[in-house]
Amino acid sequence: MKIALIGAHGKVGRLLVPILADHGHDVSGVVRHESQLPLVEELGGTPLLLDVEHASTEEITEALRGHDAVVWSAGAGGGSPERTYAVDRDAAIRSMDAATAAGARRYVMVSWIGSVPDHGIAPDNSFFPYADAKLAADDHLRGTDLDWTILGPGTLTNDDATGKISIDPDDAGNTSRGNVALVVAQALGSPSTVGRFVRFVDGETPVLEAFGR
């Protein structure tokens, strides 16, 4: 499978590129700075320079042509509310429209565990722009004809990957970025995840078992 990973230089992306490459996939690591290109190559991916925050739908479409799948793992990283909406909502939505136009049918969105209409984040909370932007992007993805999956990890940590998770937990918990990368890789090839919002945290169920072999 030829996969475009948007946000390949991010903390999850850097863990995901070698996993996908080891699985035999051809990974285009999309980054926005030239200085980030060498790392993508070192990790086993093919660097692709594109600033999705400022790129038009047409420009993103051209970048995605020839790909089978798109993974969105980019984000503003807690910047200003304006930039959060620009990246996590607007650029993400353009990437979905571009994936449709380019014929990249499979789309996996890395979101967050609370991305539901009643997420409970107050408008005056500094986290609200992120929650609001992600929900808008997720809802747009649900309305496309893409074979989509939305992944909702809990609070992200830099703990080592355990390869074990808990799906639809009663309470939000921690999720290692390493486990997020493993889940993305497994979800890409798991038809059972198409059309689903998969909420998960670190747990006791092996990822392979959670989604079936």
The pLDDT mean for the chain works out to 96
User: Taken in order 106, 107, 113, 114, is the CA torsion positive or negative?
Assistant: negative
Residues taking part in catalysis? 130
Assigned CATH for 2-211: 3.40.50.720
Ordered by start, the domain boundaries in the chain are 2-211
| Residue 40: pLDDT over 70 | yes
Q: What is the pTM of this model?
A: 0.96
- Confidence tier at 150 by pLDDT (50, 70, 90): very high
pLDDT, mean of residues 133-149: 98
pLDDT at 213: 53
| Residue 200: pLDDT over 70 | yes
